[in-house]
Amino acid sequence: MDIQLSVQQLTKRYKTGEGVTGINLDVRKGELITLLGPSGCGKTTVLRSIGGFLDPDSGDILIEGKSVLKAPPEKRPTSMVFQGYNLWPHMTVFDNLAFGLKIRKMKKADIEKAVNEVLQLVRLPGAELKYPGELSGGQQQRIAVGRSLLLNPAVLLLDEPFSALDAKLRHEMREELREIQSKTGLTMVFVTHDQEEALSISDRIVVMNQGNIEQIATPQEIYDEPNTLFVSQFIGKMNFLKGVITAGGLTVGHLSFPNTKNLSGQVNVAVRPEDVMIEGEEGLGLSGVIKQVMVLGHYAEVSIDLPAYGTIRAFQPRDFVKDLHTGQQVKVSFAKVLAYPVS
C-alpha cells in the first residue's frame, strides 16, 4: 500500500511547554486516520503542521514522497476543514465553492461541472444560489467539506469539523463523511477528542497524550487491547481494580486469570462493563451489593459495590435486570481482564 503522508520525527514545542515531540506517523493512500486525545495532547499541532499553518522545530513531513516543509499552506497538496465553517457570508454557495477553482484559473464550464458534482456528493444539489446564512449548521459544514474536496487534495485535513453540531447531526455527518471517503478514495486525517466519533469513522486511530503517541491501531484493537493504562482509561468505559501477580497467574481476590504480559507484583486490572458477569449469591465470584440499576434503552447499567475494590459497573441485557434490585447480594466474575503495571 502506498504511503500518502509520512510524518517523521516531528517536534513542535511552545513556550508553555505544550506541543509534540518525535511524532512518527505513516498514512496510507485512501486511509481515514484519526488523531484522538484530550485537550492539549498535541493532535491539532500535528494537523496544523501537516497543513503548513505551523512551522515545526524539527522533523519532516512528506506527501506523496516529497517534503512539503518549506511550502506555505496554499502551495501544499492539502486542504483543511475547520471547526468553524469559514464560509464567506456575502457569497452564494456557488461562489464559496468556486472560489479556489477560479484562483486556479479553471475554465468556467469546468468550474460549473465540478461544483454541481460536489453538491451532489455532499447531498445539497440545487443550493448554488443560497447564502450561508440561509443554511443550517450541518448544511454549512457540508459546503465547507465540499469546498475542500473541490481542491482535489492529496490529503484532506479535518480539525474537529462536527463539534459545533448537535449529537444527531454529528452522527449523520460522520456517516456522510465516511460515504464521501469511500466514493472518492481520499486520504483523510481527522482530529477529534470524541472517542465515539473516532471509533465510528476511522480505519486507524492515533491515541495521543501529552505530546506523544500512546498507540496506533484499528478501532477494534484500540478498544479490545489498549496498550497502556492511559488508553484503557480514555477509550470506552472501564472498571479498574487492584490485582496481584502470584505463581498461579493474575489474581483479583480469589479469581485467577492468565498473566499474558508476564507482569510481576501489584497490577492495575481493567475490566470492560460488558465483561462483568453477575451471578446469584451461590456463585463463585467476588461478593458485592447492588447499588443501582439503570435501564438505558436496549441494555442496563448495574452499579455494584465490591467491599474490597469499590464500585464497578456492569452492562447487562435489559431483560436480565428485571429481578435485580438495590441492596441485593450478588457475586461478580469477569469474562476478560486486562492488566497494567502500577507506575
How confident is the model over 296-341, as pLDDT tens digits? 888 999 999 999 899 999 999 988 888 899 999 999 999 999 999 9
State the average pLDDT over residues 26-49: 95
Residues 6+ positions from 100 with CB-CB distance below 8 Å: 147, 150, 151
Span 239-259, pLDDT tens digits: 999 999 988 789 999 999 999
- What's residue 275's pLDDT? 97
User: Where are the domains positioned within the chain?
Assistant: 3-231, 237-341
Helix (H) or strand (E) holding 156: strand 155-159
pLDDT (tens digit, 9 = 90+) per residue, 75-122?
A: 899 999 887 778 889 989 999 998 888 888 888 888 889 898 888 888
pLDDT tens for each residue of 230-243: 999 999 999 999 99
Mean local confidence (pLDDT), 151-168: 87
Q: Which CATH superfamily is domain 3-231 in?
A: P-loop containing nucleotide triphosphate hydrolases (3.40.50.300)
Please give the CATH architecture assigned to the domain spanning 237-341. Beta Barrel (2.40)
Segment 259-274 mean pLDDT: 94
Q: What percent of the chain has pLDDT over 70?
A: 99
What DSSP state is assigned to residue 261? T
How far is it, in rounded angstroms, from Cα 181 to Cα 139?
A: 18
Confidence of residue 1 (pLDDT cuts 50, 70, 90): low
Give the pLDDT band (50/70/90) at residue 169.
confident
Summarised one tens digit per residue, pLDDT across range 124-153 is 888 888 998 898 888 888 888 888 888 889
Confidence band, pLDDT 50/70/90 cuts, at residue 184: confident
pLDDT, residue 272, reads 97
Three-point CA angle 234, 240, 245, nearest 5°: 120
For the residues of 108-146, what is the DSSP string, one character each?
HHHHHHHHHHHHHHTT-TT-TT--GGGS-HHHHHHHHHH
Contacts for 14-22 with beta carbons within 8 Å, 24 or more apart? 18/42, 18/45, 18/211, 19/45, 19/211, 20/45, 20/46, 20/208, 20/211, 20/212, 21/211, 21/212, 22/59, 22/212
